[in-house]
Each structure stands twice: as structure tokens, then as C-alpha cells.
Amino acid sequence: GNSTEHLAARSKTFRQAAEAMIAASAHLKQKTLNGYEIALRVHAYPAFGNRRISTLKAADIDARLATLRAKPKADGKQRTETSVLGTYKVVRKVFSCAYAHRLIPFNPCIAVTKPQTDTAEARFLTVEEVNRLSAELSVQPPYDLIVRFGALTGLSIGEAAALRVPD
């Protein structure tokens, strides 16, 4: 039948599959790769690192995600669902890469309910609030300009920070 027991003895460990995924992702930005490596080292390797990837099931991934949700962050605060989602995405990427390279016959992440991002309703400043804030910051240029620029363009903080002179 569809038994994968014959694969287990000679299959790669999750860590080996993760390292292969990282190597195959060399085209990504270093910051992205660093995030992958942190998520793997801190959240995935303790649970899956030395296990054969072919022996891991959806229930194992569900259990790990539940453990992450229950475990507070280093600062003692509750871990957000967005944080759990970040780890899930990296683990899913490892399994997708392993499936693409025929290390596993099925990607167990397909059967795992994907964590949802935390969504908070955005609050936008009124024209009066923008004017008041930039007036307060006028003693510390260029912060007053940055506030006005953001308010008038609608760019997010990340988008504004990514701008360069040639843009």
C-alpha cells in the first residue's frame, strides 16, 4: 500500500531537510534567511530536529504549535498568533521542500490548520492630530517632516524606511 515505513530508516532528519531548504533559498535576502534560522533553531529543532522527516505527522505539527501558543515569550508576555504563524510558515517550507525532493510522500502541513494573523483595527490620525504632532516635533527636525510625509503619502513605516534617494 502507501506505507512509508521503508523510508523512515534511510530518510533525512528534519534538521537535514531544513538545512537543505535554507541552502535552496540562498536567493532570498539575508534578513529573511536569518529569520528562518532563528525560527528553526528556537522553535522547530527542539521538537523535530533529530527526528526523521518521514516520521513526522500533522498531529506532531499541531502539537508543536499548541506548545508554542501556551509557552510565553522570553519577556513573559503571551505569544501572539502571528508569532506562531511565522514558525508554521518556516516548518511548512521545510516540508514543501522535502516533498518536492521526494523525501516524503505527503506534506503533513496540508492537514494542519494554518495559524491566523492577529489583526488590529488601524487608527488613523485626523488632520488636526497630524498638525499637532508635527508641531510638537518641529524642535527635532526631521521628525516633523517624517510625520507630515507619512500622513500625506499614506506610506507605512516600513515603506517609508525602505525609500532611497534614487526612488
- Model confidence pLDDT, tens digit, residues 147-165: 899 899 988 888 888 888 8
- Model confidence pLDDT, tens digit, residues 92-148: 999 999 999 999 999 999 999 999 887 777 788 899 999 999 999 999 888 898 889
Contacts of 98 (CB under 8 A, 6+ apart): 12, 17, 20, 21, 53, 104, 107
Q: How many helices (H) and strands (E) does the chain have?
A: 9, 0
Contacts of 5 (CB under 8 A, 6+ apart): none
